[in-house]
Structure 1
Amino acid sequence: MKVVVAGLPKTGTTSMKEALKILDVKNVHHYFENCCVAQDQWTNILRGRWCPEDFKRLFHDVDAVIDEPACFLWEEISLAFPDAKIVLTIRENDEVWFESLKQHYKKEECLYEDYLVKYLSLTGWRKYRNIRLPMDRIFYGVSKMTTQTIAENKSNLKLKYRAHNNYVLQAAPKDKLLVFKCSDGWLPLCNFLNLPVPNVPFPHGNKGGGSYIDRESHPQAVKMRHEVYHSIAAIFSISLGMFLYLLW
């Protein structure tokens, strides 16, 4: 483990994932990898069944970890990998962060594919039931994150954003911590990681919210899409069989 990104979602975590890959930090776990590739491990962690050695096993071949649920347990991961550097990604202020969070869920709720994946893909359903819902309750203090619950809990969510950032600032070793906004560009990040500055613009991933993966080509997205197709085919076959049975 080289880099632990402690910033909450909607602080440029998708851009950071792309930036680290440009910097040749090869194996980066973002939200989708955490929740799908390491689904069983994170399910146990969110149920409180873990020890420090679990993080060593979970991330033994990972170079960087970003976004939920790892950002909430950045300290435990850092203790398991004491040589890793910590990057706290932030927004201009809590209001900007909150509006970005709200916009993300507003757009996500308009994606019919997410509903199909949530209920017709075994991987998607387990991710939602075992990781997304517990994470919403434990870390955000809501039954589940929706545009309605976000609006209803605005003050509480902004407080959690400030409290999280303040704790990282207090608890992280100062010589291993970089407080970073993606608008800062390559220079502070590359200096912190002792890497050369690339001759390309700093990436801007997931602009406008609503997506954090390449839904067409990401292996886990492809897997869940195939599970949806199989579920639809099974439902159609069963329905057709019942119809023909009743017809005859």
Structure 2
Amino acid sequence: MAYANLPYTPKPITDIFTADTDIDRRKCQRVVPMRVLALGLGRTGTASLRTALKELGFDDCYHMMSASVENPPDCLMWQDAFAAKYDGVGKFGREEWDKLLGHCQAVCDWPAVAFAKELIEAYPEAKVLVTTRNVDTWHASTMKTVDWRANDPELKMVSRFDWGSGLYQPMLRKFWDVFFGGDFEKNGKQRYIDYYEEIRSLVPKENLLEYRMGEGWEPLCDFLEVPVPEGKKFPHTNDTDGFVDRCRARNRAQMMNVAFRALVVGGSVAATAFSAAMTIRRFVGSRGSLLA
């Protein structure tokens, strides 16, 4: 099912338990050059890579977290991109990428990997790299994290009522369905193999860096032609053990948003009803006195 051109809705003022921004990317444009396309699949160290790229001056670096916990309205444009590529609805080219990613000098992680070919074509001047790892350990890690999140019944429930998760959950589910054929456990490993072969076919070997976490700054900096940061360890973030806890904490915060909105709206309705009842009572009482 295509979800193209879904309307933008502003963040409710009652969403006080989450710190999401509320930027309508459809109104944005490119303000910095796209310099790096880091097209390795998620759970290959992309969160650490994002931090590293920002440390090297490639700021901002787009990541799934950009849409999930930073600026949920981004999900509207990702849905436009999915609709154009996988459902043949609408178009999504350089102009649209510049709106969605125009504040970024780099991009990594999913859902961007679903558009590797399109991004390489849109930004031929950008350097291309992929993070890799053993396919079996990658699959096991992803099963415990993002596949769990894509199928999280609590997230699905919250998304029916909360602004941020209502934007994010359908986008994540759409990505998981189109990229992994709706069954990551069954299709994930072969998709991993096929995907990296596709990248190698799209980018000449001499223009592509295949990078594994643990190799440090040198190969990354050499490829990107930037100096190695002095006295700084390569970052390590987003471990598997903390992923589920962070997601559940996010669910709880969004539930609190929903509860607070219900309290405020419910309180306003109750106050309005009370005020109306008192007005009617005064009117009836006053009229009764006149008729007496």
Q: What TM-score, normalized to structure 1?
A: 0.78
Q: Distance in 1 between matches of 2:109 and 2:256?
A: 29
Counterpart for residue 15 of structure 1? 48
Residues 159 and 87 of structure 1: CA distance in aligned 2, closer, same or farther (over 3 Å): same
Q: Paired residue for 2:122, among 80, 92, 100?
A: 80
Identity %: 25
Residues 175 and 61 of structure 1: CA distance in aligned 2, closer, same or farther (over 3 Å): farther
1:76 is displaced (CA, Å) by 0.8
Map residues 68-217 of structure 1 onto 2, 5 A cutoff.
Answer: 68-91=110-133, 93-105=134-146, 114=155, 118-129=159-170, 131-142=171-182, 150-151=184-185, 153=186, 156-198=187-229, 199-208=231-240, 211=243
Question: Which residue identity lines up with residue 259 of structure 2 in the other structure?
Answer: I
Q: Distance in 2 between matches of 1:77 and 1:34?
A: 18
Q: Distance in 2 between matches of 1:239 and 1:40?
A: 29
SS in 2 for 1:183: coil
Question: Which residue identity lines up with residue 56 of structure 1 in the other structure?
Answer: D
Show structure 1 runs of 5+ residues with no match: 143-148, 216-220
Question: Which residue identity lines up with residue 175 of structure 2 in the other structure?
Answer: M
| Higher RCO structure (Cα 8 Å, ≥6 apart) | 1
Higher CA-based Rg: 2
Q: Distance in 2 between matches of 1:106 and 1:136?
A: 8
Aligned residues between the structures: 225
Cα deviations across residues 145-183 of structure 1 (Å, max 9, x unaligned)?
xxxx544x2xx2100000001111111133331101111
Cα deviations across residues 36-84 of structure 1 (Å, max 9, x unaligned)?
2522211111111323232233323310111111112122112111110
1:194 is displaced (CA, Å) by 0.6
Show structure 2 runs of 5+ residues with no match: 1-33, 85-89, 274-292
2:158–2:255 contact (8 Å) kept in structure 1: yes
Structure 1, 56-65 or 191-200: larger mean CA deviation: 56-65
Q: Distance in 1 between matches of 2:92 and 2:147?
A: 36
SS in 2 for 1:4: strand
Q: Paired residue for 1:235, among 258, 262, 283?
A: 262
Q: What TM-score, normalized to structure 2?
A: 0.67
Counterpart for residue 61 of structure 1? 103
Question: Which residue identity lines up with residue 216 of structure 2 in the other structure?
Answer: G
Counterpart for residue 45 of structure 1? 81
Cα deviations across residues 17-50 of structure 1 (Å, max 9, x unaligned)?
1111111211111102245252221111111132
1:98 is displaced (CA, Å) by 0.5
Residues 108 and 122 of structure 1: CA distance in aligned 2, closer, same or farther (over 3 Å): same
Residues 106 and 4 of structure 1: CA distance in aligned 2, closer, same or farther (over 3 Å): closer
Structure 1, 22-31 or 98-107: larger mean CA deviation: 98-107
Cα deviations across residues 91-146 of structure 1 (Å, max 9, x unaligned)?
0x21011011122248759x9985675344212112112x111111100111xxxx
